Amino acid sequence: MNLYGKDLICTQEWKIKELEAVLELAAKMKRDRYSPRWTSLLQHRTFLMFFYNPSVRTRQSFETAATELGGHAQFLEPRAMRLKTATTAGETIEDAANVMSRFAHGLGIRILEDQISAYGEGDDLLREYAKWCTIPVISMAHDKFHPCQGLADLMGLHTHLGDVKGKKTLVTWGSGALVRSWCSPQEYMLITSRFGMNVTLAYPEGYDLDPEVIAQVKANCAQNGTSFEIVHDSVSGYDGADVVYSRNWMSPVAYASGELDKASERAKAALHPGWITDAARMKRTNNALFIHPMPVDRGSEVTDEIASGPRSIIYDVAENRLHVQKALMALTMTDAL
């Protein structure tokens, strides 16, 4: 297996054993964070970070990852770039990608809902960069997927549950005003179903996720002989769950106006109060872990009691972002391992 140069846009596109290689290396890197085995892997090498959307945590974890591998991550805001579009003059992605490939050893891109005019455009952009770049392109979260978050989630489950095969995870919509992306819950369902978990998805009517992703999750479950179900109440999905994942997300009509209509989404979400992970609901589970991609909207998605409780692994999973990203960069930007 050689991952050198491989793009990561969605974990589903990588083989199980390739993902396992990342997770194994990440676990070693977590145990022995500053080992000379890895602190020079990216020495004098550059990782470009394109933030179409600003971010604090993703930036911190990627930039720290490069530093810990001996390299340097550049924080770039592409508003400075004038790319060619259907209606405006500018540079082609072909040209931009070819030149970046001369300077750097990897390219991360983050592009979320409010920088695009329809779901899927961010994914298209990443694939266009990946087509022309000779260096690996890594999603740092885009409209469809968030593979590094998915890997960090699974690493957390491995640590706290051991083998996840046959375990049940609930993925539930959470109340709140934050109009969140689909990328994290979609990636989470893909990778957990792929690794053998039973998945229950709970959300109010009108909050369907991407039907293609749901079909893939079903296919993953079918292949593993596990179950996938959707419920539309905020309680029953907790029954017997080993892991509870709660998260607000936007509805499929968020772009009806051609741009992300946050005000309308907030009004819609306000019609569904009480979709919150609380102690009463957690009592129905199999002493479930609580997991969340952060930032947490405490009091809406989850109570403080649960988010800060003994079964919450949110900080550990957040830390895992660093380790899985270090492992990914080491495996795709060098062929030293």
Contact region with its own copies (CB under 8 A), list: 64-72, 194-202, 215-223, 227-235: 64-72
Least distance (Å) between residue 139 CB and its own copies: 18
Q: Does 217 bind its own copies (CB under 8 A)?
A: no
Contact (Cβ atoms closer than 8 angstroms) between residue 175 and residue 90: no
Q: Can you tell me the distance from the alpha carbon of 2 to that of 212, in angstroms, rounded to the nearest whole number?
A: 29
Q: Does 84 bind its own copies (CB under 8 A)?
A: yes
Q: Does 31 bind its own copies (CB under 8 A)?
A: no
Reported as type and span, the H/E element at residue 233 is: none
Question: Cα(first)–Cα(last) distance of the chain, in Å?
Answer: 11
Of 137 and 189, which has the nearer Cβ to its own copies?
137
Least distance (Å) between residue 314 CB and its own copies: 8
Q: Where are the beta strands (DSSP E) in 197-288?
A: 198-202, 228-231, 243-247
Report how far apart, in Å, the C-alpha atoms of 334 and of each of 21, 297, 327, 329 are.
Answer: 14, 38, 11, 7
Least distance (Å) between residue 337 CB and its own copies: 17
Contact (Cβ atoms closer than 8 angstroms) between residue 136 and residue 333: yes
Selected binder of its own copies within 9, 152, 254, 318 (CB under 8 A):
318
| Interface positions, 263-302, toward its own copies (CB under 8 A) | 294-298, 300
Q: Does 78 bind its own copies (CB under 8 A)?
A: yes
Least distance (Å) between residue 230 CB and its own copies: 26
Q: Does 86 bind its own copies (CB under 8 A)?
A: no
Q: Does 314 bind its own copies (CB under 8 A)?
A: yes
Least distance (Å) between residue 316 CB and its own copies: 8
Selected binder of its own copies within 13, 24, 32, 90 (CB under 8 A):
90
Contact region with its own copies (CB under 8 A), list: 48-56, 155-163, 217-225, 230-238: 48-56
| Bridge partner residues of 198 (DSSP) | 168
Of 84 and 311, which has the nearer Cβ to its own copies?
84
Contact (Cβ atoms closer than 8 angstroms) between residue 174 and residue 192: no
Q: Does 100 bind its own copies (CB under 8 A)?
A: yes
Q: Can you tell me the distance from the alpha carbon of 18 to that of 3, in angstroms, rounded to the nearest whole number?
A: 8
The stretches of the chain forming alpha helices (DSSP H) are 16-31, 57-68, 93-103, 121-132, 147-161, 183-194, 211-224, 262-270, 279-282, 304-307, 314-333
Q: Does 127 bind its own copies (CB under 8 A)?
A: no
DSSP class of 196: T
Task: Name the token pair of 153.
Answer: 């989630």
Residues lying near its own copies in the complex (CB under 8 A) are found at 34, 39, 43-46, 48, 54-57, 59-61, 63-64, 67-68, 70-72, 74-82, 84, 89-92, 94-96, 98-100, 102-104, 176-178, 294-298, 300, 307-308, 314-315, 318-319, 322
